[in-house]
Amino acid sequence: MSVMIGPKAAFIAEKALSDQHAEVSGRESFRRACEATLLELVWTLPDRNDPVGAAANWQMIVGARSALRLLSSIADPAKPPDKPVTYNLDHQA
């Protein structure tokens, strides 16, 4: 049986790449470049006054923010999911 590895896990597995990325993404210049990139995207969006065009612009901004967030955290190790709260529903007690 083969196990599929996601893109993030594969990136983290390449230690040299993930270490270099962690070093770069921790810099102030990287964060400023991400902010400037998002602002440039907003600046270059077409001026759309119709509801459909405004929604399309909004979706582009949300997608770009998501992509930048992924880019910034791709080298961070995945944390295990939190244990769900049972709210004292243990019926065996």
Give tens-digit pLDDT for 30-71.
999 999 999 999 999 888 788 888 899 999 999 999 999 999
> Could you tell me the pLDDT band of residue 91, with boundaries at 50, 70 and 90?
low
Domain assignment present for residue 90? The answer is no
The pLDDT, as a whole number, for residue 63 is: 95
Q: Is the pTM of this model over 0.85?
A: no
Q: What's the domain range around 13?
A: 7-73
The pLDDT, as a whole number, for residue 5 is: 84
Domain assignment present for residue 66? The answer is yes
> Could you tell me the pLDDT band of residue 76, with boundaries at 50, 70 and 90?
confident
Q: What is the mean pLDDT of the chain?
A: 87
Domain assignment present for residue 34? The answer is yes
Domain assignment present for residue 89? The answer is no
Domain assignment present for residue 54? The answer is yes
Kindly write down the DSSP assignment for every residue of 15-82, as one continuous string.
HHHHHHHHHHHTSHHHHHHHHHHHHHHHHHS----SHHHHHHHHHHHHHHHHHHHHHHHTTSPPPPPP
Domain assignment present for residue 12? The answer is yes
- Provide the domain count of the chain: 1
Domain assignment present for residue 40? The answer is yes
Domain assignment present for residue 79? The answer is no
